[in-house]
Amino acid sequence: MPITEILSRNAELYGQEKCLTEINLDLQERHHVTWREYELIENSPAGEYRREMTWRVFDEKANRLANLLLKRGIKKGDKVAILLMNCLEWLPIYFGILKAGAIAVPLNFRYTAEEIKYCLDLSETIALIFGPEFIGRVETIFDQIPKVKTLFFAGENRPSFAENYDRLTANCSSEAPPVKLSDEDDAAVYFSSGTTGFPKAILHTHRSLVSACRTERKHHGQKREDNFLCIPPLYHTGAKMHWFGSLLSGSKAVLLRGVKPEWILKTVSEEKITIVWLLVPWAQDILDAIEIGDVKLEDYDLSQWRLMHIGAQPVPPSLIHRWKKYFPDHLYDTNYGLSESIGPGCVHLGTENIHKVGAIGIPGHNWEVKIIGENGRPVAQGQVGELAVKGPGVMKCYYNDPKATAAAIKDGWLFTGDMAMMDEDGFIYLVDRKKDVIISGGENLYPVQIEDFLRAHNAIKDVAVIGLPDERLGEIAAAIIELKPGCKCNEEEIKAFCAPMPRYKRPRKIIFDQIPRNPTGKIEKPRLREKYGATSLVAAQTAR
């Protein structure tokens, strides 16, 4: 079943029911609008504080775009890119591309003009739909992307080099386009996070997308009465694949533009949110805001909030212990996945297994897992090897890159590049990225293990451990530490805190700095290596 059929079913069964709400509290604060006034805004134009959409309107908007694309000669298998911030238009545009039989190509909103051009060229995109935040970047390259024949602008103050998306789609039929789709049809190209260089183009089919719907709903039990809070960017597989559980269950979701702790709690309270997916930094910020008194939980009605889950990166056990202190009734889950496995779910902890917090979990619904050593064979229990997964969400290929595809997929198994181990109960623990392993004096050091240890320090907000060149040992571990607001600490205190660790695992350099993360929460270690690895380091700074 193509994923577009799920949307059509929802429009038929629940047509008049609200399915999506977009909230922008930054606009509300800047315009000093009260929450009650904000709540009363209905069908407001783009740029206002709260906008809503029903399942029928969602489906009709998708149909209108599909018919426009077909009218413009875009045919089955053509690529259409999306370059938008999270907004109410994002998902109808995505599904409109799919309904036309075309392949959706979501682009990272942080891409530079050069990176946008690279991804458009790599994916062989022929049409681009972009928003007002990207006018400058697209203008820089629009005459350098000859394969992109059509540029649609979604927003006000249309630039001269693009056509008006809203006006054109409004004049198209809202009936379903006459395009037949199958499970095996190509559906979307996603890009790897690019934390190790320019991203790869990852091709998925409709079967893969539908498998994500089923896996997500199986893991988190979305029901019609649930309301999912979506904060991460929709261009990434993580956020959208979690929303796919809402799609399959016909339940509501809220797109929140912003990550301030008070905004998240206010939205959960006022919108009666039941499920929230957070990145580690956002969960940390909420807890920090509670502990320093910036937010007071008694100011919010959070009684209906039943599930908080985290993914996209290793989760420090200390964070979840802190979370349960303030939210003892929450179900909790950790989700592991990668864009090559259609995002989260190929491994997950499971809400019943919070006693194993720290593990990424067990094989997800319809997934298999094994851990492979350098000899190509499964490792013994408790030993470290490369995590490989197999299931219905494995990518079709790296688009136009057969060599990389052959290296990543072997006999149907996707080799993730993540180093992991399995305990005696069958739970998998992520040790580190294969490329991030530090070899110091012949010993393998796994940065995630050191990072997890350091995050237990009361003054540390975030930490990244990288390898730096060393003449004698080859590499040494350096810990870049970001302190919590108002906290002070120095190198000697950190080294004393690390004393219980085996000597060879202790970081030999301590640096106090900000930790850069990409929009999906992953630490941008290449940036840190570039900043600190080119020259020898001076004595570690003391936090100011």
Average pLDDT over residues 166-189: 96
| Per-residue model confidence (pLDDT) at position 28 | 56
Q: DSSP per residue over 438-466, as a string?
A: EEETTEEE-HHHHHHHHTTSTTEEEEEEE
| Per-residue model confidence (pLDDT) at position 441 | 63
pLDDT at 29 over 90: no
> What's the pLDDT band for 448 if we cut at 50, 70, 90?
confident
pLDDT at 94 over 70: yes
Q: pLDDT tens digits, residue range 278-295?
A: 988 789 889 999 999 999
Average pLDDT over residues 338-363: 92
Least confident of 182-196, 346-360, 453-467, 493-507: 182-196
> What's the pLDDT band for 519 if we cut at 50, 70, 90?
low
Q: Which pTM does this prediction carry?
A: 0.82
pLDDT at 177 over 80: yes
| Per-residue model confidence (pLDDT) at position 544 | 29
pLDDT at 33 over 50: no
| Per-residue model confidence (pLDDT) at position 530 | 80
| Per-residue model confidence (pLDDT) at position 539 | 30
pLDDT at 471 over 70: no
How far, in Å, CA of 228 to CA of 216, rounded? 12
How far, in Å, CA of 78 to CA of 463, rounded? 42
Tokens of 91: 């998902």
| Per-residue model confidence (pLDDT) at position 124 | 97
> What's the pLDDT band for 38 if we cut at 50, 70, 90?
very low
- Please provide the average confidence, as pLDDT, over all residues in the chain: 88
How far, in Å, CA of 462 to CA of 452, rounded? 10
**Dihedral sign of CA atoms 374, 375, 381, 387 in order:** positive
| Per-residue model confidence (pLDDT) at position 50 | 87
From residue 344, alpha-carbon distances to 189, 334, 394, 474 in Å are: 16, 9, 12, 35
Least confident of 149-153, 165-169, 303-307, 375-379: 375-379
Q: Are strands 18-23 and 252-256 parallel, antiparallel or unpaired?
A: parallel
Q: Are strands 362-363 and 385-390 parallel, antiparallel or unpaired?
A: unpaired
pLDDT at 512 over 90: yes
Q: Are strands 385-390 and 368-372 parallel, antiparallel or unpaired?
A: antiparallel
| Per-residue model confidence (pLDDT) at position 472 | 62
pLDDT at 323 over 90: yes
Tokens of 463: 């930490």
Percent of the chain with pLDDT over 90: 67
Domains of the chain from N-terminus onward: 4-258 (3.40.50.12780), 307-433 (2.30.38.10), 437-533 (3.30.300.30)
State the angle between helix axes of 206-220 and 4-14 in degrees (0 to 180), rounded to the nearest 10: 60
Residues 6+ apart with CB under 8 A from 108: 115, 191, 194, 199, 233, 235, 236, 519
| Per-residue model confidence (pLDDT) at position 435 | 72
> What's the pLDDT band for 112 if we cut at 50, 70, 90?
confident
How far, in Å, CA of 148 to CA of 80, rounded? 9
Q: pLDDT tens digits, residue range 387-427?
A: 999 999 999 999 999 999 999 999 999 999 888 999 999 99
Percent of the chain with pLDDT over 70: 90
